Amino acid sequence: MTELGELRFNRLLVAIDGSPNAELALSAAVTAARRDNSALTLVTVAPDMRAEAARWPGAFAVPRTPQSEVDAAAERTLREAVARIPADIPVETIVRRGAAGPQIVAQARAGCYDAILLGARGVGRISALVGSVSQYVLNHADIAVFVAHAPREAPAADPLVAAR
């Protein structure tokens, strides 16, 4: 049996959506970037509001939320993430528009990345342990994919029970 070597990364693609799971993926990416002197590319995907509106033919054809607001929120999510990354780590940001899974995979194929890091989004026991975006990326990416799942928070203790 051969000994395992350490993984080394030069460029990491990190999908950001502001969720606790994505934050964990970003923390892991920062750890790897510091260790390996890697560059990070943060990508967030804004929904295409016209395409979303078209999915519901009986609904209004005009998107309820203007695309400019959705795009601005995506930009804000990236800015807030970049502000938390240490200054010595090179960071590039990209906003894509459309369905998140296919857009993340397309970005991975368009660049020269060693791995994709993204957060899982649990959707209950029946669906799967990982969300549909992370499942899509796992099934379609041509490079390594690491899915972060933040631990569930323990429920707050009931003060009435604790006082007994």
Distance CA 27, CA 88 (A): 15
CATH number, span 11-152: 3.40.50.620
Query: What is the structure's pLDDT at 121?
Result: 76
**Residue 138 in tokens:** 């796992």
Is pLDDT larger for residue 96 or for residue 127?
96
Q: What does the domain layout of the chain look like in residue ranges?
A: 11-152
CA distance linking residue 128 with residue 111, whole number of Å: 29
Mean pLDDT score of the chain, rounded to an integer?
A: 86
**Mean pLDDT for the stretch of residues 114-120:** 96
Residues 6+ apart with CB under 8 A from 122: 129, 130, 131, 149
% of the chain surpassing 70 pLDDT: 80
pLDDT in the model for residue 129: 44
Tell me the pLDDT tens digit for each residue of 20-66: 999 999 999 999 999 999 999 999 999 988 777 776 666 555 557 88
Q: What pLDDT score does 155 carry?
A: 63
- The per-residue pLDDT for 113 is 98
